Chains A and B, each alone.
Chain A
C-alpha cells in the first residue's frame, strides 16, 4: 500500500478539525444512517417507530439506561481518541481492537495479581493496560519508521495475532483461572481494583470521568502545546515538518504509543468496571468501533466525545430492539452507514456548499 493512501483522509481531518463543517457533516451522516435504518426496519415489516422509541429509552430513558450508555461512551471515547490521535500524525491505526484486548487482559491480570491499597490499585492497573496497549502499536510504528511497512496492513496483522494469542492461548492456557468451573477466562480481580460506582441505581462508574478527562487532555495537548502542534505538523506534511526540525520519527512513536495506550485503557475500563475478570469470550468490537467514532468525530477530541456518546447510546439502546425482533448488531449497521456517509463527504460537501451559497445570496 502506497504511503499517501493512509494519510489522505487524515490530512483532511486534521486540517479541518477545528472548523465546524465536519461537525455538520457528521450530524447529517448519522441522521442519514438512522433514517436508512428506520426504512430498513419498516421494509422488513417490523415496528420501526416502536423500535426507535425503545432504542432511545434503552439509551437515555432511565438511570440504569444512562449507566449502560455511560459505560459504553467511556470505552468508545478511549478507542475513538486512540484512532483519532494516530490520525493527527497521519497514521491509520486499525489495530485499536488488538490494543484494546491487550489492555483489557493486562488490567485483568494486574487487578488480580497485585496486592495494593484501593487508591493505588486502579491507577496501577490502568497504567499496566496502557503499557500493554501501547506495545502492539509501537511494533506497528517501528515497522513503519524502520521498515516502511504501511501501518494499515501491520495493524490488521497485529490485531489477529493478539486476538488469537489472547483468546485461544493465554486465556484458555497459562492465564486461565486455576480450578475454575468455566473452561476459560482469568481469575476475578481484587475488590481494590474495581472501578468505584458513582450511583447506587446504575452501573455508572468513574470510567466516564476518566474518559472525559482523557479527551480534554488530548484536546489541550493538540491545541495548546508545542508537542501537539508538532504532531499536527507531522500529519499535515512530514517532509515540511522534517525540514522545520521536528523529529518526525519520534513524534510518530509518541502518537502511536499514546494511541495504543488509550485503546488499552478503554479495555481496562470495561474489565475493571463491569466484567471484573477477562472472560473466555470477549469479542466486543469496541476497537473497530473506535475507528467509526474517530471518523464521525472528525478526529477532534471533543468531536470524538460527541460521537462516542451517540454510538454508546446506540449500542446501549440497540439491545432493546430485540423487543421488536431486531438483533442488536443493528448498531453496527448504523455505524457502518454513518462512516460510509462521512467517507463520501467530498460528494456531500460540494452539494452542501452550493446550498449554503444559494441560501447565503438570498437577502434575509
Chain B
C-alpha cells in the first residue's frame, strides 16, 4: 500500500520536474545557461490557468502555458544571444520579473494574490487514470535523446554547445540554433509549469513553482546534462519527495528523531547530492564546453 502511494505521488510530482529539467538540458546543451527555468515555469503555470479559465478548455490552457514559457524564453534568447549579455544575469532578471509580473497579473485578472480561480479549472482527460503529462514526461526524454543522437538538428545543437566556432565553420548558424534551443527550453519549462496548475492543483497558487525550477536545474546537473539522465534524476528526486510523507508518518511526534527534524534534511538532500556529484565525490558531471559563453564570431579561440 505504501509503495502504491509513493508511486502515485512520484507520478504526480515528477512530470513538471522532468519537463523543466529537459528544458534546461536543451538550452544548456546548445551553450546557453538557463537559470530562468523557475520564472519560465511560473509564467507557464499562470498563463495555463488563465487560458483554461478564459476558454473553458484545459487544452487551450496547456497551449497558453507553452507559449508563455516560450515568449518569456524569447527575452532570454534576445538578451543573451543577440545582446551577448551574461546569461546568468538574464536568467536572474527573468526570475525576478516573473515573480512580480505574475503576482501583478494575478491581482489584475483574478483580484487575488493567493489561489485562483475560485472554481477548479477544467481537467484534461485521463489516460488509464493518469494525466497526459505523465506519459509525455516519460516519453519526451527518450525522444530528445534520439533527436540529439540521430538527427541533424540534434547533432548541430550539440556541436554549437561544445564548439561553436567549429560548428560555424561548417556552415551552422550558431545564433539560429541557440535561439531555437532557448525557445524550446522555455516551451518545455512552460509545459512543466502548466502541469502544476492544470494537472496537480487544478488552480494557480501564487507560490508556484516554489523552487521547482531550481530543482529542475539540479536534476539537469545530476543527470549530467543528458535527457534520460535528467529523467532518472527527476524520478529520484520525486521519489525522495514522496517518501518524506511516508517516513514522516512513521516518525515519533517529539524527541531528537521527530518529524520536525526530518523534513528539512530530506528536502535539502537533492541539492546536497547534486553538490557532492559536482564535487566529484560521487561520480563526475561535466557541463557542455561552451555553456555560458556568448558566441562572438570574431573572438580568438
B218 CB-CB contact with A under 8 Å:
yes
For chain A residues 124-152, which have a beta carbon within 8 Å of chain B? 143, 147, 149-150, 152
Chain B residues positioned under 8 Å from A9 (CB to CB): 85-86, 88-89
A113 CB-CB contact with B under 8 Å:
no
Whether B90 pairs with A335 at a CB distance below 8 angstroms is no
From B267, B271, B275, B292, give the contact of A143 (CB < 8 A): B275
Chain B residues positioned under 8 Å from A143 (CB to CB): 275, 278-279
Whether A5 pairs with B85 at a CB distance below 8 angstroms is no
A340-B268 contact in complex given A6-B292, A332-B96, C-beta closer than 8 Å: no
The docked-state distance in angstroms from the alpha carbon of A345 to that of B217 is 27
> 0/1 per residue, A92-127, Cβ < 8 Å to B?
101000000000000000000000000000000000
From A152, A163, A170, give the contact of B35 (CB < 8 A): A152
A2-B287 contact in complex given A157-B274, A343-B83, C-beta closer than 8 Å: yes
Whether A329 pairs with B100 at a CB distance below 8 angstroms is yes
> 0/1 per residue, A318-344, Cβ < 8 Å to B?
000000011101111111110110111
Whether A339 pairs with B92 at a CB distance below 8 angstroms is yes
Whether B89 pairs with A295 at a CB distance below 8 angstroms is yes
A76 CB-CB contact with B under 8 Å:
no
Which of B103, B260, B261, B291 has the largest number of chain A CB atoms within 10 A? B260
A251 CB-CB contact with B under 8 Å:
no
Q: Would you call the interface of chain A mostly helix, strand, loop, or mixed?
A: helix
Chain A residues positioned under 8 Å from B75 (CB to CB): 340
Interface residues on B, range: 35 or more
Chain A residues positioned under 8 Å from B47 (CB to CB): none
Q: Which residue of B lies closest to A9 (CB)?
A: B86
Whether A327 pairs with B107 at a CB distance below 8 angstroms is yes
Whether A329 pairs with B79 at a CB distance below 8 angstroms is no
Whether A94 pairs with B92 at a CB distance below 8 angstroms is yes
Chain A residues positioned under 8 Å from B87 (CB to CB): 5
Whether B96 pairs with A336 at a CB distance below 8 angstroms is yes
Q: Would you give the shortest CB distance from A36 to chain B, in whole angstroms? A: 10
A329-B85 contact in complex given A160-B268, A336-B94, A340-B90, C-beta closer than 8 Å: no
For chain B residues 252-281, which have a beta carbon within 8 Å of chain A? 258, 260-265, 267-268, 271-272, 274-275, 278-280
Whether B264 pairs with A339 at a CB distance below 8 angstroms is no
Whether A160 pairs with B271 at a CB distance below 8 angstroms is yes
> 0/1 per residue, B55-92, Cβ < 8 Å to A?
00000000000000000000100010011111111101
For chain B residues 141-158, which have a beta carbon within 8 Å of chain A? none
The docked-state distance in angstroms from the alpha carbon of A330 to that of B84 is 28
Whether A147 pairs with B279 at a CB distance below 8 angstroms is yes
Whether B292 pairs with A333 at a CB distance below 8 angstroms is no
The docked-state distance in angstroms from the alpha carbon of A291 to that of B94 is 13
Whether B260 pairs with A160 at a CB distance below 8 angstroms is no
Chain A residues positioned under 8 Å from B294 (CB to CB): 8
Chain A residues positioned under 8 Å from B28 (CB to CB): 1
A346-B108 contact in complex given A1-B287, A4-B292, A332-B100, C-beta closer than 8 Å: no
From B83, B268, B280, B291, give the contact of A161 (CB < 8 A): B268
From B97, B108, B271, give the contact of A337 (CB < 8 A): B97
B33 CB-CB contact with A under 8 Å:
yes
Whether A340 pairs with B97 at a CB distance below 8 angstroms is yes
B289 CB-CB contact with A under 8 Å:
yes
Q: Would you give the shortest CB distance from A188 to chain B, in whole angstroms? A: 20
Whether A292 pairs with B96 at a CB distance below 8 angstroms is yes
Q: Would you give the shortest CB distance from A134 to chain B, in whole angstroms? A: 17
Whether B97 pairs with A168 at a CB distance below 8 angstroms is no
Sample (12) of A-B pairs whose CB atoms are under 8 Å apart? A1-B33, A9-B86, A45-B108, A157-B271, A169-B261, A173-B261, A174-B261, A332-B97, A333-B100, A336-B94, A340-B94, A343-B79
Report B's interface with A, CB cutoff 8 A: 28, 33, 35, 75, 79, 82-90, 92-101, 103-104, 107-108, 113, 211, 214-215, 217-218, 221, 258, 260-265, 267-268, 271-272, 274-275, 278-280, 287-294
Report A's interface with B, CB cutoff 8 A: 1-2, 4-6, 8-9, 40, 44-46, 92, 94, 143, 147, 149-150, 152-154, 156-161, 163-170, 172-174, 176, 288, 291-292, 295, 325-327, 329-337, 339-340, 342-347
